[in-house]
Amino acid sequence: MTTGPMKTGSMTTGSMTVAYLVNTAPVTSSTFIRREMAALEAQGVTVRRFALRRWHQPLVDPGDVADQARTHYILSGNLRGLALAALRQAVIGPAAFARGAWLAARLGRSAGGAVRHAAYFLEAVYFLRALRREGIAHTHVHFSSNAAAVALIARTMGGPSYSFTAHGPDEFLTAAEDGLALKLSGAAFAVAISDFCRGQLLRFGGAQHRDRIAVARCGLDLEDFVPSERPAGESRTLICVGRLCPQKGQVYLPAAVAALRATEAPFRLVLIGDGESRPAIEAEIARHGVGDLIELRGWRSSAEVRTAIAESRALVLPSFAEGLPIVLLEALALERPVVTTTVAGIPELVDDRCGRIVPPGDAAALTGALRDILRADDATLAAMGRVGRARVARHHDLTTLATTLRGLFAAAIAREGKAEVRMKRAVMGREAAEMES
């Protein structure tokens, strides 16, 4: 689960309270964060949920609805609270207030967003007060974007240590402008979800931080993903799950379906998800005349997604940009082959033993891969499924991920405690020297 120089050791941790901070939560496409927090709680870690803003789309999963009620929102509907927190900090801690404001201005200059980073500063001041009030020892952030900036500013003002998990791909597109190097240098550690992601952190954050970057791959609880007794070969349904957006490339699927229609036995494609690419996908469906073969279902709950994948022949995800899609893990865990692309961390998970992997944007290769899956016999599909599930079990176990993170959090908190002890001893030493003189 964890690779690279960073080690967690065999530390036994007691009770600890950590904050999880994200930009927007809960979001239908980020169920993996909810699962991660629940796995940590199962190991005795108290997790306080924070988000900068509320997601205003309807939530379809009961778990997301429950998590929303447990989340403390910093920005949404809280302008008065932000202003009062800033005023209080300026009065009782003017030096810390000045340090935070200076850092926010520095980040704003590098990212070309002074107004945006002024907002991050106010959010950080409010967040800092909440951290102190709840006795939180460490903050963990998902994605190295604006929430990481808030955690960094809070840290600069005297808040607890922080860390972040980097996923990609979007956060690496503006890494230099968004101050990734500063965020990494201020963090107790960083987590990369793949070897590819670790390379991007080193590229943009600096190789000097390599010993503080751990590879901890996103995980699943395999008990929640029990393979169907129905062989994949009995189904003629291909399924695609994910936000409908340019990065995931669903707009190119109607052409592939049209190309296969004439030569393959009847089949259909189901798309679960929604997003800005929906009108373009609908236009392509109409242009290629495959409305009878493609169904757009919109967002569905986690349970409904699992059922749909289990009832499918294979999952297809023709992405142009990714981190490492969780839905690929889910499909493989359910012993269903996947057809996807050679993007970012995907080749670390998928090869031709558990599906088909093609260059992004290669229409002929995508069509050929889908043809292979549609023509494969039961034994071939079953063998792919077994390989895929074994690979997820070996590298993407949720309990192992939680254990790794718990150890990293505990180590960061312990280092913080030792630093405080050293600082107090230094102060006492100076005071004693002054008394003697």
Q: Is residue 435 part of a domain?
A: no
Instruction: Please count the CA atoms within 13 angstroms of the CA of 292 that sit on its side-chain side.
Output: 3
The pLDDT assigned to 11 comes to 38
pLDDT of residue 110: 65
Looking at the structure, do residues 198 and 119 belong to the same domain, yes or no?
yes
| pLDDT score, position 168 | 86
| Claim to verify: residue 366 and residue 410 sit in the same structural domain | no
pLDDT tens readout for residues 48-80: 999 999 888 888 888 889 999 999 999 888 889
Instruction: Let me know whether 31 and 140 are in one domain.
Output: yes
Percent of all residues in the chain with a pLDDT value above 90, rounded to a whole number: 75
pLDDT confidence tier of residue 170, bands split at 50, 70 and 90: confident
Q: Among 369, 368, 371, 375, which Cα is nearest to 354's?
A: 369
pLDDT of residue 157 exceeding 70: yes
Task: Say if strands 268-272 and 189-192 run parallel, antiparallel, or are unpaired.
Answer: unpaired
What pLDDT is stored for residue 422 in this prediction?
A: 54
Q: pLDDT (tens digit, 9 = 90+) per residue, 354-394?
A: 999 999 999 999 999 999 999 999 999 999 999 999 999 99
Least confident of 7-21, 249-263, 291-305, 339-353: 7-21
What are the phi and psi torsion angles at 85 (to 5°)?
A: -65, -40
Residues 248, 202 share a domain: no
**Position 428 pLDDT exceeds 50:** no
pLDDT-derived band at 179 (thresholds 50, 70, 90) equals confident
Domain count, the chain: 2
Residue 430's pLDDT is: 46
Same domain? For 244 and 336 the reply is: yes
Here the CATH number for the domain that contains residue 215 is 3.40.50.2000
Cis amide linkage into residue 227, ω under 30° from 0: no
CB 238 within 8 A of CB 314: yes
pLDDT at 210 over 60: yes
For residue 22, give both structure tokens.
């994200």
305 and 351 co-located in one domain: yes
**pLDDT(7) > 50:** no
pLDDT at 77: 82
What range defines the domain where residue 62 resides?
A: 2-219+397-429
Q: Who's near 3: CB < 8 A, 6+ residues apart?
A: 195, 214, 215
141 close to 147: Cβ distance less than 8 angstroms: yes
Check: CB of residue 52 under 8 Å from CB of residue 123: yes
On whether both 245 and 359 belong to a single domain, the answer is yes
Average pLDDT, the chain: 90
Give the model confidence (pLDDT) of 236-293 as tens digits. 999 999 999 999 999 999 999 999 998 999 999 999 999 999 999 999 999 999 999 9
Tell me the pTM.
Answer: 0.88
Q: What is the pLDDT of residues 301-333, one digit of tens each?
A: 999 999 999 999 999 999 999 989 999 999 999
Residue 434 lies in a domain: no
Least confident of 112-126, 397-411, 422-436: 422-436
Domain presence at residue 341: yes
Nearest partner of 143 among 185, 195, 188, 183, judged by Cα: 183
Q: What's residue 290's pLDDT?
A: 97
210 and 336 part of one domain: no
Q: How far apart are the first and last CA of the chain?
A: 56
Domain match, 420 and 360 both: no
Same domain? For 215 and 227 the reply is no
pLDDT at 8 over 60: no
Share of the chain above pLDDT 70, in %: 92
* φ/ψ of residue 134, rounded to 5: -100, 5
Mean pLDDT (whole number) for 87-115: 86
pLDDT at 160: 96
- Are 255 and 331 part of one and the same domain? yes
**Are 168 and 322 in contact, with CB atoms under 8 Å apart?**
yes
- Which of 211, 163, 157, 160 lies closest to 183, judged by CA? 163
Greatest Cα pair distance, the chain, in angstroms, is 95
Query: For the CA atoms of the chain, what is the radius of gyration?
Result: 24
Please tell me whether residues 229 and 215 are part of one structural domain: no
DSSP 12-30: ----EEEEEEEEEES-GGG
